[in-house]
Amino acid sequence: MRLGFIVLLGLVGAGTAFADETVRTGAAAFGDWRTDAPGVRRLITPADLPAPFATPSARNMSPQAARTEADIPKAPPGFAVDLFATGLSTPRVIRVAPNGDIFVAETGAGRVLVFRPGESQAGPAQGKIFAGGLQQPYGIAFYPSGQEPRFVYVATPDSVVRFPYRSGETKTSGPPETIASLPGGGSHWTRDLAFSPDDKTLFVSVGSSSNVAEGARIPDEAEIAGPPLGASFGDEQRRADVLAFDPEGRNERVYATGIRNCSGLAIQPGTGALWCAVNERDGLGDDLPPDYATRVVQGAFYGWPWYYLGDHHDPRHQGERADLANRITTPDVLIQAHSAPLGIAFYTADQFPSEYRGDAFLTLHGSWNRSKRTGYKVVRLLMKDGKPTGAYEDFLVGFFSNDASVWGRPVGVAVARDGSLLVGEDDSGSIWRVKYRGK
């Protein structure tokens, strides 16, 4: 890997609030949690990748430490962080309804909560149970778009259900209606949801059931007609894909494939592009392969399980599916390997400084398959004219207690109606709110 720093010219507006305008590249872009700080920028490219097994594959879990009153995430200068809600059981996806109510998938409790932050109260917000009795709820979406949605869609590991809804309701008025079945079981259970800007398509992310299809019989070229169907074999049927449905759950099709585990979906305002936050495979070493966030192109193939980041052949499938080598879409923003991206949200409000508008925030749940821990933070994806530059910047850090334990692991992220940023983390079961107070 090459080592260096480059100056970011034209990546963001001239009003950038950080003194350090350089971005770490090559080997300097890699590191562990001790190199994290608000404003640090990184740019990882396919040219920076080490060889497979350049380092041993580590198993380095992060024990949970109890959060103390002094444990507060650190944001860039001018930003304030306060505790929005706490005491939750594995809060995951956060979505904001058109009227400003905040919906949270409380996965550990099997329910969806609603928070109304405008209500007068002392201390953290108290949520109300919108719907309960759900199996590991995750993705949430409102349909149709606009100010008066009629349904709240919720994804579970094996289905998509919807609840009747009227704007302002804090409890559903009817039972769930199952509109689509999904492949359950396996290693990756998260299922996120997003509607296309025209409301005609419901996107559903479905991760693989394994790390890299170990032991599976891989179909050869003659068995697959037309474009690559990605995970179309054995236990991986309808997996490692973004699936698409009509709003009623009909007309299922594969929108894009070869995506190992797209844990977060978002529509980019202005462009209408569908984005995925993706956990790449494990077992190839500390810095391989990078996780990523990317625009998802209809009909595209992103390589799993045979390839990663273009035509890099996974040695565990060496010699298989050579016909696909030139048909792989390389993702847009490469994130340090094993960071575990989960949530993604675009910032279109006016509460933050103007240079943040149009950028995206990405939560990194944190590593386990790395000798020195990385992730455990929220980063900002830097855009220019609506397109990703490939660089990202540390935004919210400080979830570590020490080198041996962590007290928080970021998961959900959303922009509240007042322009503040909401970040959920599932170790302490809390949601944090970030506001800009000025220099």
Name which of 395, 380, 382 is nearest 432 in CA terms: 395
User: Which pLDDT belongs to residue 119?
Assistant: 62
Query: For residues 18 and 79, which has the higher predicted lDDT (pLDDT)?
Result: 79
Q: Is the model's pLDDT at 250 over the cut of 90?
A: yes
Cis peptide before 289 (omega within 30 of 0): yes
CB 314 within 8 A of CB 282: no
In angstroms, the CA 268 to CA 279 distance is 20
The arrangement of strands across the sheet holding 410-415 comes to 79-85, 430-436, 421-425, 410-415
Band of the pLDDT at 182, cuts 50, 70, 90?
A: very high
What is the average per-residue pLDDT within 134-138? 98
Q: Is the model's pLDDT at 19 over the cut of 50?
A: no
Residues with Cβ within 8 Å of residue 9, at least 6 apart in sequence: none
User: Which pLDDT belongs to residue 385?
Assistant: 96
User: Which pLDDT belongs to residue 162?
Assistant: 98
Domains of the chain, first to last: 3-58+70-436 (2.120.10.30)
SS3 142: strand
Percent of the chain that is helix, strand, coil (3-state, to 5): 5, 35, 55
SS3 109: helix
Q: Is the model's pLDDT at 85 over the cut of 90?
A: yes
Q: Is the model's pLDDT at 8 over the cut of 80?
A: no
Q: How far is CA 294 from CA 51, 91, 309, 331, in A?
A: 23, 24, 11, 5
Band of the pLDDT at 43, cuts 50, 70, 90?
A: very high
Write the burial class of residue 72 (CB in 10 Å: 0-12 exposed, 13-18 middle, 19+ buried). middle
In angstroms, the CA 373 to CA 371 distance is 6
In angstroms, the CA 432 to CA 423 distance is 5
Q: How far is CA 327 from CA 240, 273, 317, 343, in A?
A: 17, 21, 17, 27
User: Which pLDDT belongs to residue 233?
Assistant: 78
User: Which pLDDT belongs to residue 78?
Assistant: 98
CB 276 within 8 A of CB 45: no
User: Which pLDDT belongs to residue 16?
Assistant: 35
Query: Which two structure tokens, joined as six digits, stand for 406?
Result: 């962590």
What is the average per-residue pLDDT within 141-151? 97
In angstroms, the CA 46 to CA 429 distance is 36
What is the average per-residue pLDDT within 105-132? 88
Band of the pLDDT at 393, cuts 50, 70, 90?
A: very high
pLDDT one-digit tens code per residue, 348-380: 999 999 999 999 999 999 999 999 999 999 999
Q: How many residues would you count in the chain? A: 439
User: Which pLDDT belongs to residue 223?
Assistant: 63
Mean pLDDT of the chain: 92
* H or E element in which residue 190 lies: none
What is the average per-residue pLDDT within 388-401? 97
Residue with tokens 């998938």: 105
Band of the pLDDT at 227, cuts 50, 70, 90?
A: low
Residues with Cβ within 8 Å of residue 195, at least 6 apart in sequence: 141, 142, 143, 144, 145, 201, 202, 203, 247, 267
Give the predicted TM-score (pTM) of the model.
Answer: 0.94
Q: Is the model's pLDDT at 11 over the cut of 50?
A: no
User: Which pLDDT belongs to residue 214?
Assistant: 85
Band of the pLDDT at 343, cuts 50, 70, 90?
A: very high
Q: Is the model's pLDDT at 20 over the cut of 60?
A: no
User: Which pLDDT belongs to residue 120?
Assistant: 47
User: Which pLDDT belongs to residue 12?
Assistant: 37
pLDDT one-digit tens code per residue, 255-297: 999 999 999 999 999 999 999 999 999 999 999 999 999 999 9
Q: What letters, b where the CB count within 10 A reaches 16 and e where it falls short, cover 97-112?
A: beeebbbbbbbebbbb
Query: Which two structure tokens, joined as six digits, stand for 79?
Result: 């930003």
pLDDT one-digit tens code per residue, 45-56: 999 999 999 999
| % of the chain at pLDDT higher than 70 | 90
What is the average per-residue pLDDT within 240-256? 96
Q: What letters, b where the CB count within 10 A reaches 16 and e where it falls short, cover 369-380?
A: bbeebbbbbbbb
User: Which pLDDT belongs to residue 224?
Assistant: 60
